[in-house]
Amino acid sequence: MNRVVVGLSGGVDSAVAALMLKRQGYEVIGLFMNNWEETDENGVCTAHEDWADVRGICQKLDIPHYSVNFAREYSDRVFDHFLAEYRHGRTPNPDVLCNREIKFGAFQDYALKLGADFMATGHFVRRDEAGNLFKGADSDKDQSYFLYMTKAAQLRSALFPLGELKKSQVRQIARDAGLPVSEKKDSTGICFIGERRFKQFLQQYLPAQPGDMVSEDGEFLSRHDGLMYYTIGQRRGLGIGGRGDGRSWFVAGKDLEHNRLLLVQGENHPKLFAGAALIEQITWVNGVPCEDGIPYRLCGKLRYRQMDQTMALTLSGDTGILAFDTPQRAVTPGQSAVLYAGDRCLGGGIISTAL
């Protein structure tokens, strides 16, 4: 009997993943990862609540369960990078790094120490025996965007029981099995922020450096609270009101040298669009699909839940230029550009500059 260690978060997805694997005849072990130990603004540590839910899930499934603390690894490998990116005026995606460094790093290593043949998660993705990564069958829940930094060797020893399911089916399986988390609300946003307001959270770690908001002509409009609190394409929270021609204002760029936030009016302003982007730190799931210097046609997403966009990649080592067939709005440095051939996730990179 093959042994599989399932990463249990206390949510319905990972619970159903464990249930399905047990029904398929695996020897299932539940493992809860405590990656963040701080309490929220109400003094609640959600990790304690989630661990209680994991114990309830494993009792219902009659499987052994363990808790492991990866808070130090998470802080060193994910959170420090998150803060460094914001210091440099970029907008990072820590979930991508968490999957590479923690779930397919520290967690996978720990699972092997427990004698596991496989690790498993509740991600809505699929993989084949060769270690290729594919989108989940539920297009609304597909999470391949967040796993593009994984490697074929890691994927070959990973199981994704939910890959062929719709979210509604997962909920129904949980209800039918009487799992105690069948109606538990899905977690959203960045795990270590929880229900807190992002701005208030970030203020705890990075000193604010207020500066000027200016128009594309350099006209002073107002003051900003710190460049780190704003992202490209943002409309809400600017506090400008009816200045200019009455249309809404949007963040079009950041002048780091002068600590200025650049704003334009109208959601379709040309400065909100880019025809290309420079990407760096490119990684591939299962081999490099193209040669350096030769444009390669593919599809990509510049943010989670975006529809696939057609584009061409001209590669140069671990950097490249993405030329978009259609100009893209709010191309944001620090975010991930994830690349596809149909449903297959090829890999991706970090957006460095909108061109």
Distance between CA atoms of residues 22 and 256, nearest Å? 53
CA dist 41 and 88 (Å) reads 27
**Side-chain half-sphere exposure of 226, counting CA atoms within 13 A:** 14
Q: How far apart are CA 162 and CA 209, in angstroms?
A: 44
Q: Which of 277, 283, 268 is nearest to 348 (CA)?
A: 283
Phi and psi, residue 121, nearest 5°:
-135, 170
DSSP 247-272: SPEEEEEEETTTTEEEEEESTT-GGG
Element of type H or E holding 174: helix 167-177
Distance, in Å, from the CA atom of 119 to the CA atom of 7, rounded to the nearest integer, reads 8
Question: Which residues are identified as catalytic?
Answer: 98, 191
The strand pairing partners of 120, in sequence order, are 6, 159
